[in-house]
Each structure stands twice: as C-alpha cells, then as structure tokens.
Amino acid sequence: MLNSLDLPKAPAETRVVVAMSGGVDSSVVAALLKQQGYDVIGITLQLYDHGEAAHRKGACCAGQDIYDARRVAEAIGIPHYVLDYEERFRAAVIDRFTQSYLAGETPIPCVECNRSIKFRDLLETARELGADVLATGHYVASRRLPDGRRALHRAADPDRDQSYFLYATTAEQLDLLRFPLGELPKEKTRDLARQFGLTVAEKADSQDICFVTQGRYSDVIERLKPGAVHGGEIVHVDGRVLGRHEGIIHYTVGQRKGLGLSVGEPLYVVRLDAAEARVVVGPREALATRLIRIADVNWLGDVPLDSLGEQGLEVAVRVRSTREPRPAILRSTGTGITVELLSAEDGVSPGQACVIYESDAPRARVLGGGTIARTAAEAAPAAA
C-alpha cells in the first residue's frame, strides 16, 4: 500500500521536508502533512537582504516572510530551520538575470530559482536531513506513471497553475518532489488555512520578483552593473532612425507605451539588438512569430527528444505565463530544437520560456521546455 505521497511507508515513518516561504500555500502544505501523521521538517530560505524588503508586500523569502514561516512551524509543532542561501541566489539567479537583460533578453528569474536553488540545492539539503521527499506549495500536479516514474501536469486550478515556471524540473528531481496543492483550488487552500488556525490565512500572495524591491528591473541592473547600460538609437524595422533611448534594459518585446515617439502610427518594440544598442520598433504585424528556436531544453517526454526529427511531434506550447497553451509542432534536427506555432503569436521574446505540453487540455502533462533563443516570422520550408 502506498501512502498519500505515493511511498510504500506509513506516514509516521516518512520524513518530509517542506519548503516554507512564509505564505499561505506552503504553510498549508506543512500543516496538512503534519495532520496526516508525517514526520515534517520546515525549511525557509533567506535569498536576499531581508532588511531591504522586510515590510514590502508582494515579495517572498525575506524579512516578515521568514518570521511568518517560523510562527506557523511553532503553531503546528514541527522543527523549522532558516538557511542562508544569499550567495547562491545572487550567483545563480540575480547575476544571470542581470546579464540576460543586458543581452536584450527578458528573463524569468523564478524559473532559474526553482531550477538552481529550490530543486537542486534545497533538494540536496533535504536528502542530508534524511527526507524521503521535498514538498512545496506550488500549484502543479505530480502523478505516478505505471513504470514508477513521475509526470508533471497542469494544476487543477487553471488560474493558479504554475507549471510554466516549473518546466525545468528534471525527471530525477520529480521522483523526490511532491506538490500537495496540485489537485486543490486556491479557495480550498485558504479554507484549510483558516481551519488550521494559521496566522497567514489571509496573507496576500507574492506577485513580484522578490529581489526587485522598487518594482523596476532597470534600477536593480544599474545598481549591480554600473556603467554597463548604454544609450543608442530607436530604429524602425524599415531602417529609419526615429529617436534615441537610454538603454535597452528599459524596453521589452511587445512594449507599446513609453517609447517617447510621435510618428502618427502605433509602434511596438519588435526586437532588442544588444550588440548595436538598438531598439527596433514597428507595426503590430511585425510582432507576429511562427518559428521559435529554444535552448537549454529540459525534456520530460516518454520518447527521446532527438528521435523526433523533421516530422516532429504535435504538442501545445506556452510562450508567456499569462497565455494559454497553443497548438504547435516540436522538431529536433541537426540544427537544434525548434517549435513551429500553428498560428502566429505576438510579442514572443528571447529569454522567456517556451513550455511544452502534451496538449492544450486543462490538465495536460508537461513534456518539458526551454529558453527562447531566437524567433522568426515564418517557419522554414520543410526539407525535401
């Protein structure tokens, strides 16, 4: 018989480390598993200078959040530890975020945090503590396959689904990870928090990038890399120079407002050319993307990725966290991994994630994903 975490042990003999961010979701996970009789240990990561954001709403893993996590652990009667991961977080997440923006990309630091900090370093710490699994408060579902491996699926609550940010989780990591909230709607989580009497039951959800304390990415980059930001030209896709800018880090692909241009037509940021310090703008139709090349691919599918060839695999992909998966063809050839969108998408930006699903169904399995490296308006013609 398997327990509720799909392990062949009694709950009392199963040690679970819970990653406690101080929010309502991870707090409920800890309380729920404790109620079910598991041997629970709570761990909170201090990821950056908590004094800078101690009273800031919308952040996580700092100041008040560490205090909240500790109070919850005390209330439900579990051991709780705070680990200082500031140096690791700076090297793996903040520095990479900065370099990516300076290269004209639009990175997603939450993906890198999950990949390099929570599901690598923290998972190793959990193993050292003798844990059978590491549980988190993410809204994503993990299900056992017939052969014993685990598959990642979109969460039951489509408005809370976080699979886009977890595509880089490896098959080995999935074996040791559990997501108890994947089958619950958010309101049920709130109800459970109230039933458990948790002090964080009404706490607002974190929404912002935790280390961007003033809500402006450019301020962080200019502080960390003084002198690295250079001005340049704003150029139309037809070659006309329309103006100047103070640094490409102030722009993102698809941006319309704040360009400071008066040319009698709506213009959008189409491309950021870091090498020439250029912001390339154009009409909305210039944003249309059909072909995406992805890099640093994490593959969770059943068939080998390199076996797909030119014929490819019918999938659904998500190119922004706020968009629904759209039908596409995934191909693997000698020139790399490409995704052909069956209908064009606007504002597809290098640095963002392209997450691959088995289909566009609400509970679809996650097949993996990668970082968007390059885009094109049209798909290349098929090989003869």
Determine whether the annotation assigns residue 22 to a binding site: yes
> DSSP label at 119?
I
φ, ψ at 42 (rounded to 5°): -100, 135
| Integer Cα distance of 339 and 329 in angstroms | 6
Determine whether the annotation assigns residue 25 to a binding site: yes
CA 256-258-261 angle, 5° bins: 85
| Integer Cα distance of 91 and 214 in angstroms | 21
The token duo for 7 is: 């392990």
Determine whether the annotation assigns residue 45 to a binding site: yes
Residue found under tokens 């692909």: 253
Length of the chain: 384
Residue of 61, 110, 113, 354 marked active site: 113
| Integer Cα distance of 51 and 101 in angstroms | 26
Determine whether the annotation assigns residue 197 to a binding site: no
Annotation says 354 is catalytic: no
The token duo for 331 is: 């191909």
DSSP string, 240-295: -EEEEES-GGG--TT--TT----SSS--EEEEEETTTTEEEEE-GGGG-EEEEEEE
The token duo for 338 is: 């490409």
Annotation says 113 is catalytic: yes
Determine whether the annotation assigns residue 26 to a binding site: yes
Binding-site residue positions for ATP: 19-26, 45, 137
Binding-site residue positions: 19-26, 45, 137
Active-site residue list: 113, 210
